[in-house]
Structure 1
Amino acid sequence: MGTGYATIMYDSEAVVSEGIGDFAACRYDGVEIGLGKAEAVGEAKLSELLEEYDLDLYCVMAGWLNTEEDLQAAVDGAALAGSLGADFLGILPPPRGVVDDETFADWLDRIGAAAAEAGVTPIVHHHFGAHVEQPEEIRRWLDEGPDNLELLFDTAHYYAYGDITEGIERFADDIAYVHLKDIDPPAEFQTHVENLTAGKKDYDSIVNYIWAFTDLGKGVIDFGEVSATLDAVGYEGHQTIEIENQKDHPLVHAKENIDHLRSVTER
């Protein structure tokens, strides 16, 4: 098992000039990068940087699936992920209400086929306010999706819909990759969750949920317990720390987050 860091806090230019070097300096093992950034950096340059800093590429995360154009970008992105040696192609489901179940099922099948051809594993990211959000929806789409579809389990995105420990235990056989992410719920957080689950186009609820994400150890999630539970269910895959909302001094946050994780685990 390795621990990676996501490039959310770095734009494509900063990924090259700072990000990859920052992750190596903090002694991360791997990297997750968005498909758009990977394309902007370019396959040759990104491969060169990963080799230079001895970092693995865990996941290339495709963008939100809102349209057929987004779908085609994800399908095309599978080949780039495979060429870069990534383990996974991440799938962000459509926001709730954008497409019907039949369309989403077709989209999953098309991404799954492209991923299989490229030699990468497609993983679905359950996400607040999305077509795959509730634990029952996670179970449904893992069962009804293509045979090679597996789960990206995200601690902060699961928090609002069920006990994280129970979620890890419930989906133990399906979890291929883990996002470690903390959350500090604001007042009336559950109301915001209910609005998003109902499919309301509620800007206030979206903002309050997004801004609740915080650095590891600054929120309510016990990552020592998360780690112990992953160990208990026999999880041996990679985990990536995903931080948002902290774009000032990204190196500081990269270091503080890995330090916190190491302080509460045996890794």
Structure 2
Amino acid sequence: MNVGYTTIMYDSESVATTGISDFAACRYDGVEIGLEKVEALGADTLGSLLDEYDIDLFCVMAGWLNTEEDRQRAVDGAALAGDLGSTFLGILPPPRGVVDDETFAEWLEDICEAAAEAGVTPVVHHHFGAHVEQPEEIRYWLDEGPDNLELLFDTAHYYPYGESVGEGIERFADDIAYVHLKDIDPPAEFEYHIQNLTEGKKDYDSIINCVWAFTDLGRGVIDFGEAVATLDDVDYDGYLTIEIENERNHPLVHAKENMDHLRSVTDR
């Protein structure tokens, strides 16, 4: 399996000036970049950087689907992802309660059709507080969504919902096309905050508590040696991307420490 890193801790300018070179120095194979940053950098600049440092573009992650404008941006982003040679186009479902099932289904159809035309695989990112969140919802949308829609499995976002990460990997083994390795250190009253988001409550305190629970690999509750071993057991041979959100100071240090931790618990 090839290992990548996300650019969440880098703004658009620093992706170009330090980010891609940081990933190469830490011996990452690839990168995931948000669509907004891809647009800001431009295809030529980003493509040249990826070529210079021999870094693959694993995924272009479209933004949250809140509006028709967001849907259209994701549709247009599929072609940009395809032009850059990205393997995946990531789909972030709407926050819970923003749209109904019929609207979300229509948006999925449009985005997945554009992805097919662009030669990229659309992957839905299950996410707490979103329209696709719990295991039963993941199953529903994979079954009812477009035929080319596959799953981005995220270790931290699967953690709260009753099954272990390993059980989740086994449950969705035939659907997982792409993986986020992400750790979580649940705060006090974590289950209360998850329940608020799951019920669609507009509770910003719950959102903040859940977001700030994400942490570097090895500093939370997830056993990544076990997770990767389970992926091996189900014959997953795709990309693993480490996703870090809350450590914006010294991003190179975190990029290296997270790769080091993964290597320490696996044979990667």
**Under TM normalisation by the shorter chain, which class is it?**
over 0.9
Q: Superposed, which structure 2 residues align to 1:28-67 within 5 Å?
A: 28-67=28-67
Aligned equivalents of 2:84, 2:115: Cα separation in 1 = 13
Helix, strand or coil: the match of 2:5?
strand
Aligned equivalents of 1:76, 1:228: Cα separation in 2 = 37
1:263 matches 2:264: yes
How big is the shift at 1:29?
0.2
Helix, strand or coil: the match of 2:127?
coil
The residue number in structure 2 matching 1:176 is 177
The residue number in structure 1 matching 2:71 is 71
How big is the shift at 1:205?
0.5
Aligned equivalents of 2:96, 2:32: Cα separation in 1 = 25
The residue number in structure 1 matching 2:109 is 109
The residue number in structure 2 matching 1:244 is 245
After the TM superposition, list the runs of 4 or more consecutive aligned residues in structure 1 that deviate by more than 6 angstroms. Answer: none
Aligned equivalents of 1:72, 1:207: Cα separation in 2 = 28
How big is the shift at 1:43?
0.2
How big is the shift at 1:163?
1.3
Corresponding letter in the other structure for 2:190: F
How big is the shift at 1:41?
0.5
TM-score, normalization: structure 1? 1.00
The residue number in structure 2 matching 1:83 is 83
How big is the shift at 1:168?
0.1
Corresponding letter in the other structure for 2:48: E
The residue number in structure 2 matching 1:130 is 130
Helix, strand or coil: the match of 1:129?
coil
Aligned equivalents of 2:34, 2:245: Cα separation in 1 = 13
Question: 1:198-254: per-residue Cα shift (whole Å, max 9, x none)?
Answer: 000001100000000000000000000001000000000001000011000000000
Aligned equivalents of 1:244, 1:196: Cα separation in 2 = 19
How big is the shift at 1:21?
0.2
Corresponding letter in the other structure for 1:238: Y
Aligned equivalents of 2:267, 2:253: Cα separation in 1 = 22
How big is the shift at 1:118?
0.2
Aligned equivalents of 2:39, 2:103: Cα separation in 1 = 26
Aligned equivalents of 1:182, 1:48: Cα separation in 2 = 32
Question: 1:20-64: per-residue Cα shift (whole Å, max 9, x none)?
Answer: 000000000000000000010000010000000001000000000
Aligned equivalents of 1:130, 1:234: Cα separation in 2 = 29
Helix, strand or coil: the match of 1:179?
strand
Gaps of 5+ in 2: none
Q: Superposed, which structure 2 residues align to 1:152-167 within 5 Å?
A: 152-161=152-161, 162-167=163-168
Aligned equivalents of 2:55, 2:6: Cα separation in 1 = 12
CA-atom RMSD, angstroms? 0.4
1:121 matches 2:87: no
The residue number in structure 2 matching 1:199 is 200
